[in-house]
Structure formats: C-alpha cells, structure tokens
Structure 1
C-alpha cells in the first residue's frame, strides 16, 4: 500500500498500479467492477444513451459516437456509477492526494464506426486549476483492439510546460494540435490497452491518448469518470463552455455537487 493512500479507502490497489500511473501516466486495473455490476450499468448506460438520442431526434441505430447529453447529476440512474467508491478510491490512491468527482459520461461507439478518436490530452479541455486530474475509463463491454480500445503515449505527462494548449488551437486544428504544440510527442512510443468488461484504465489529464474506430460487430460501451483535486478551483479559459451556472470562476468546487472521494459510500447494487 502507498504511504499516501487514503485511510478511508475501502480497499488498497496494488503498488505496481501506483508506480505505473505516476511514472508513465496511466494504468489498467483489471476486474475493478464485478461482473454482476457491469451488466447492471451496461443496461442503464445503453438505455440512457438511447433516451438522449431520441430526445435529440437521432433515432435508433447508426454509427455515430453517442454520449449522454446532460451532465451526470441530471441522470439519477447513472449517479451511483459516477460516485462508485471503489473507482474513486483507486483514483485517489493513484493520485496520492485527496480527490473529488468532477464529471461522468457514458459513450457508445456503434459497430463498424471506423472513425478514430483523435490524439488529445484532457487538461486543455478542463476548466480547472488543480494539482491533479484523473480520468477513469470504465469498460462496460469487452474492448479488444478491433473494437477501439485506448492508446496511450507513456510519459507524455512529463513533457515540457506549458501543459495546456490554447482552446483556439484545439478548435482550429483538432486532429493535429497536440503534436503541433508538443512536436516531440510524435516520436513517443504508443501503447494499446485492450480491456475486458469491468476493467478500468486510469490516466492523468496531461497524458496523450486516442483510440481507433470500432471495426467489430459489437458496440463499444464505456463510462468515463473524471476526478480532480479536492481543492480544485473553477477557472474557465477562453473557449471553454460553461458547464454549470452555479460555478463561480476563482472559487473552489462545492462539495454537494462535486463530492469528495472520502465521502463516497457503498449503495445497494446487484
């Protein structure tokens, strides 16, 4: 166990995961969500995505990347997954600092949607000042290479500062901005990480990552939970969309809507 592990954590992750996360910027924890829970969350995530699609007039089927359209707190059925104490405790142990929930979103990439997810890092898109931001990618189905699993650039969180790009660069050169801002990243090794349902990958927001298209006959379904430091300050930059009208620039996130990991508790699950 790390000496920085929260004493209130419901379990302790393996030290090797902590080492991988801090040295290389990411790690995969197999089987973090039990199989019976995965089936439960898979149905809820698919139902919620389909409901949002109908509201948006998208209809059923198709190959577009589908996501829940509202922030996580507007979907009661998904709230317990965003607040999952085991995933939160793992994120906090990896970060080595007190953390809180920032957001959660379900994503579905339909069969034979061969459009890749572009290379990017998450910090530029995050309107927060925090010593650490962590994203957890919860696999709700098996995601082998052909289904479009994540690809990481190990050690890219150690690139020279500034670690943020301008949002204007992201919007005007979305597919190339990361390698234009940090040219050396083009030559970093790339690690492809296939996952089984219930596995969770964690990565720092400064780590470059992407995914290929879904070349399989099955849907690629995942839930992404974002965590930030407990002392994070809301600090939108030019080009950031306002996520929550209640947030005040320059102030700390409120505990009620963005709960601290230390306060997450187990709820009844199948």
Structure 2
C-alpha cells in the first residue's frame, strides 16, 4: 500500500488499491467462483426474486473448496491487513464470502455496515473486496459513504432478502435504526468502487456501503475476506450473523469467551504462526 492509500482508508473508511494483486491469483479465484456458481452449495444464497438474474452469495467458501482456503489463509491479502495494523501481533481469518451479480441482476445490495452482523467488537476488523471482473457503476460497483466509520454509531443490521429466515435473525439487534440513505444519497460524499481485476477495495466495518444492480451484460463477481487483528474481541450479541441460518446454517458458532480472542479452528491465525502445507499453492 502507498501512504496515500493508507491515509484514504483512515480518513474515508474505504480505499481502492490499484494493481495490488498478482493476476495469477485473480485467475485462480475466478476459476473457483465459476465452479461454485455452476455447482452451488446448498448453503449458498440468492438474494434476487424468483425468475430474476441471480444475486449469488456464499459464506465460508474456504470450508468448501481448497482454492478459497489457499487464498484466504495463505494468499497475499493478509499482508494488506498487516499494513493496516502495523502494530498487531497476529492476524486471524474471520470469514470469506463470494458475491456474484449475474448479467442483468437488478437486485441492489442494501445500505448497511458490516459490524452489526459480526459477533465482534473493536477497530481491528477489515474486509478486503477483490473483483474478478471489471466493475463499473453500471455493473454494481460498491458505494462507500466517506467518513461514516467515524460517526460513532452502529446501525441495526439489514436483511438482504425479505424472508423470515433472514429478517427474524436481526429482530433483537441492540443497535439503532439506520436513516434512509437511499432517500438522502445526494447529501453525502461517496467513494464508488469502480475497479479492475488486480485491484482491491478495503473498508472499515462501520463504513456504510451498498450497491446498485448490475444493468450490464457482464458478470460482477468478487471474493471478499474479513481479517481481524489482536485488538478485535468476541462479542456474540443476540442478532449476529450466526443467528441467520440462511447464511451460516452450515457452520456452528464456536463457544468463545465474550471479550476474549476469536482464535479457534473456525477463525484460524494466518500470521505469523501458520505454515503452508505441502502441495498448497
């Protein structure tokens, strides 16, 4: 990362890193996502309405396919996290996720923050969004509300689809209702993440973000990875992502000490102690 990119992340709560990933990794992950889309796991989601082009999502793909495991645990993204938190003594994988908007997928991603979904607390939480296709405003680039990570507020999580399995999970959220960012869109300053394969977008867990639908004839595919530093702590509040069985029903929430470390088999350390098994690229 450059000093300017790091400063942008700290100031705006999101930053685009240009040309930071080897194209070989991008191609490797594009093949993995193609496999996943062709043969989706039963735990995947489709946030689009019946009969519409898919807005596909899959949580914890690293548990399903060794390519995702290689990317999240042994790939180059953890080095970005280390640069964001130069004083951390460790970096852990929290989870990874695939998002794919098929050509013509008009379903938007609702405005939200990541933190209220996560059973985590602390500032050392980072999502890295890696595009596998050229992403434009028309194909569903993510919009990040600049500076919203500094507002000192966490908003009630928003279900990505209005079905009971999702909406009931967040009823008991301890957080405040969020304003209508769509209605007031023009009042704010946004970073629109138009990116190319090889780029990456970082955002803070309190940064408000969302995206429009994909109105093009091209895919908008991305792999995201969430890492934590040593100042992140376990916070199993009553409306976290593990309550949403549509999203995490295939994964059991670990029994960890509130306020303590998240390190466990599900959230492994990726730096500094992990070693690459023989045969893993």
Query: TM range, normalised to the smaller chain?
Result: 0.7 to 0.9
The answer to whether the aligner puts 1:165 opposite 2:175 as a matched pair is no
Greater Cα shift, 103-112 or 183-192 = 183-192
Contact 1:149–1:192 (8 Å) recurs in 2: yes
Pairs within 5 Å for 1:188-199: 188-199=188-199
Provide the aligned length of Structure 1 versus Structure 2.
250
- Distance in 2, matches of 1:47 and 1:193, equals 26
- Distance in 1, matches of 2:113 and 2:192, equals 16
- Distance in 1, matches of 2:94 and 2:219, equals 26
The answer to whether the aligner puts 1:259 opposite 2:269 as a matched pair is yes
Q: CA deviation at 1:36?
A: 2.4
For 1:106, the equivalent position in structure 2 comes to: 98
Pairs within 5 Å for 1:195-210: 195-210=195-210
Structure 1 residues without counterparts, runs of 5 or longer: 1-12
The answer to whether the aligner puts 1:42 opposite 2:30 as a matched pair is yes
For 1:6, the equivalent position in structure 2 comes to: none
Contact 1:234–1:253 (8 Å) recurs in 2: yes
Contact 1:167–1:238 (8 Å) recurs in 2: no
- Distance in 1, matches of 2:136 and 2:120, equals 33
The answer to whether the aligner puts 1:80 opposite 2:70 as a matched pair is yes
Q: CA deviation at 1:118?
A: 1.1
Q: 2:18 aligns with which of 26, 30, 36?
A: 30
Name the TM-score, length of structure 1 as normaliser: 0.80
For 2:232, the equivalent position in structure 1 comes to: 232
Distance of aligned partners of 1:24 and 1:53 in 2 relative to their CA distance in 1, 3 Å threshold: same
Contact 2:131–2:200 (8 Å) recurs in 1: yes
RMSD: 3.2
State the Cα deviation string for residues 125-172 of structure 1 (Å, max 9, x = none): 11112232111000111112211111111111111x3x3234599857
Distance of aligned partners of 1:69 and 1:129 in 2 relative to their CA distance in 1, 3 Å threshold: closer
For 1:142, the equivalent position in structure 2 comes to: 134
Pairs within 5 Å for 1:116-131: 116-131=108-123
Contact 1:138–1:223 (8 Å) recurs in 2: yes
Contact 1:140–1:221 (8 Å) recurs in 2: yes
Contact 1:247–1:253 (8 Å) recurs in 2: no
What secondary structure does 1:226 align onto? Answer: strand
Distance of aligned partners of 1:148 and 1:265 in 2 relative to their CA distance in 1, 3 Å threshold: farther
Q: CA deviation at 1:199?
A: 0.7
Greater Cα shift, 200-209 or 23-32 = 23-32
Q: CA deviation at 1:23?
A: 1.3
Distance of aligned partners of 1:240 and 1:249 in 2 relative to their CA distance in 1, 3 Å threshold: farther
Q: CA deviation at 1:247?
A: 3.3
Q: CA deviation at 1:46?
A: 1.8
Contact 2:110–2:158 (8 Å) recurs in 1: no
Structure 2 residues without counterparts, runs of 5 or longer: 160-166, 243-250
